[in-house]
Amino acid sequence: MTSRFARAQARLHRVCADRLSDAVGTFLSPGCTPITDLPLMVDRNLEYVGPDGSFMSDVVGITFNRSDLASAERGDVFTIGCERFMVEKLISDDGHMITAATMVQT
């Protein structure tokens, strides 16, 4: 049984994800049923910080709510409209929201 606080926190994360999402997509993983109508936050301006400083990268960050999708692995695909984004690696997971670094497939 979950506490009132846990239910309120889950509701808060759901509302935030719904308000901040700027796309609705589908998640495809080999051997699994596709997950459709997934609210996604897409960041096309990810910045890479390395030993030579920071620069813009061609990586696209896709953030999703853990309650909608438990995780993603390298090789999984998000589709948004006619664009396909292949997951390279997970770059952030705070227990509620997960961000995957993806590459656009042509």
Q: Smallest Cα–Cα separation from 88: which of 78, 103, 66?
A: 103
- For 41-90, how does the pLDDT look when each residue is reduced to its tens digit (9 = 90+)? 999 988 777 677 666 578 999 999 888 899 999 999 999 999 999 999 99
For tokens 């227990």, what's the residue? 95
Between β-strands 35-43 and 23-28, what pairing exists: parallel, antiparallel or unpaired? antiparallel
What count of other Cβ atoms lies within 10 Å of the Cβ of residue 61? 18
What count of other Cβ atoms lies within 10 Å of the Cβ of residue 73? 11
- The pLDDT of residue 56 is 59
Confirm if 58 and 101 have CB atoms less than 8 A apart.
Answer: no
